[in-house]
Amino acid sequence: MSTTPSLFPDSEKEIFFDIETLRLSHEVEGGWSNIAKFGLAVAVTWDDKNYFRRWFEEDVQALIFEMGRFARIISFNGDRFDFEVLRGYHSVGNLVPRSFDLLAELHRKLGFRIKLDDLARETLGHQKTGNGLEIVQWWRDGRKEEVCKYCENDVQLLVDLVEFARKKKYVVVNKKLLPVEWD
């Protein structure tokens, strides 16, 4: 057991999260340079105490507060996307330093961006259950439970990838083992 004091003594260890939006880039003035206007349809978090939880647009402040209780916030493209969506509602400046973005980490190692679907398929043999473009339409069509399940699946892929990488010390990218240290 480590005797090093925690940087966040009142915090839990880590939380995983993903977001699905209300709008697509071409529907927002400024497009990809204005992610804060995409709007939150649903966010899903997972931690080892509460497991899966769903958060909706009216829950954004509670979500940001809850994530602030954790020392590490794990996402895939969270730094460039998910936190930006949340920033459209409330400051997330206290969350960003706690971020562990798998995509950003892999991009630094590889020099290029990869898709969560490809990483999960190659490393775990599992894949996503849809794509972001169709998810916005599902939400509009009233298929909200399917959207929530899709988002939960993405979070489960994150949890499984991190667990795998911690045990095996690698992930698979382009059919090659890529050493990682994700402790």
For the chain, where are the E strands, in sequence order?
A: 12-21, 40-47, 51-56, 70-75, 99-101, 170-173, 176-179
pLDDT tens per residue across all 183 residues of the chain: 333 344 444 457 999 999 999 999 999 999 999 999 999 999 999 999 999 999 999 999 999 999 999 999 999 999 999 999 999 999 999 999 999 999 999 999 999 999 999 999 999 998 887 777 799 999 999 999 999 999 999 999 999 999 999 999 999 999 999 999 998
* SS3 (DSSP) at 111: coil
Q: Other C-beta atoms within 10 Å of 9: how many?
A: 7
In the chain, what are the domain boundaries? 12-179
Architecture field, domain 12-179: 2-Layer Sandwich (3.30)
Q: How are beta strands 12-21 and 40-47 bridged, if at all?
A: antiparallel
pTM for this one? 0.90
